[in-house]
Amino acid sequence: HMVDCVLYFEGEQAMGYRILRAAKNRFGSTNEIGVFEMDEEGLREVPNPSEMLLSGRPLNAPGTCVACAMEGTRPVLAEVQVLVSRTSFNVPRRTSNGFDFNRANLLLAVTEKRGGQNISMCDAYVNVIGGLYLDEPAADLALVLAVASSHRDTPIDAKTLAIGEVGLTGEVRSVTAMQQRLTEAARLGFTRCIVPRHSTKQLLVPEGMELIRVRNIREAIEMAL
C-alpha cells in the first residue's frame, strides 16, 4: 500500500482563499472539505464557508440564485450566476465555471423546453462564485432559476434560495439532507426556500422561513419571479 491520502489544494488564482479537498483517504471520508483564507499571518481556517462565499453578493441583480450543496456532512451555500444574452454568432456560445459543463447544457435545454424560456439563440455563461465546484443535483434548481431570471431580466428576492434536482421532463425532485440545508439557510437569514413538493412534508421548517413547494420548473420560475 503506497498511498494513504491524496489531497487537492484548490481555488481560483485571484481569490484569497483555498479549498482543501480529499480525493483519497484511507482513514476517513473523502467527502469533507476544509476552507482556508490567506492573510498577513498565513493560512487560517474559515469556520463559516457559506457566509464567506455569499459576502459581497449583489442585491436585486437578475441572473443570480443561491444554492445549498453538501460538502460531506457540511451544508455550504453558494451563489450561482448566469448571464443570458442574444447571440451574435450562428451557434450560441455556452460556458460554465464551477458547474459541470454537460450538466449545465442539459439544464439549459430543459429550461427552454419545459420552463418556457426561449433561449435557443442566446449565449449563456454560468459561474459559481468563489471558486466552488457544484457537482451534486441539489444545485440544479438554482441554476434553472438563475437562467430564467437573467432571460427575463428580473431579479430573484435576495432572501430566497432553491434546492432540488431537475429531471428531463422538468420535474423537481427531492435531495438528501434537506433538513440540514434548511437549517443552514435559516441561520444565514434566508426567509424563502423553493423546494420539491414531494418528500418535504415531514420537514421541520425553521422559524421565520417559508417553504415554497413546487412540482416542476415552470411552477418554480413563476413563484421565484
- Which CATH number is 64's domain given? 3.30.230.10
202 and 152 share one domain: yes
Higher pLDDT, 17 or 168: 168
Indicate if the pLDDT at residue 13 is higher than 90.
no
Higher pLDDT, 139 or 26: 139
61 and 152 share one domain: yes
Which residue range(s) make up the domain with 33? 5-47
Higher pLDDT, 198 or 225: 225
Phi, psi dihedrals of residue 89, rounded to the nearest 5°: -115, 165
Percent of the chain scoring above 90 in pLDDT: 63
pLDDT at residue number 223: 96
Higher pLDDT, 153 or 39: 153
43 and 60 share one domain: no
Query: Cell match 447544457: residue?
Result: 105
Report the alpha-carbon angle 63-183-217, nearest 5: 40
CB environment 45-84: b (16+ within 10 A), e (fewer)? ebeebbebbbeeeeeeebbbbbbbbbbeebbbbbbbbbbb
Whole-model pTM? 0.86
18 and 117 share one domain: no
User: Which of the four pLDDT bands, split at 50, 70 and 90, describes residue 211?
Assistant: very high
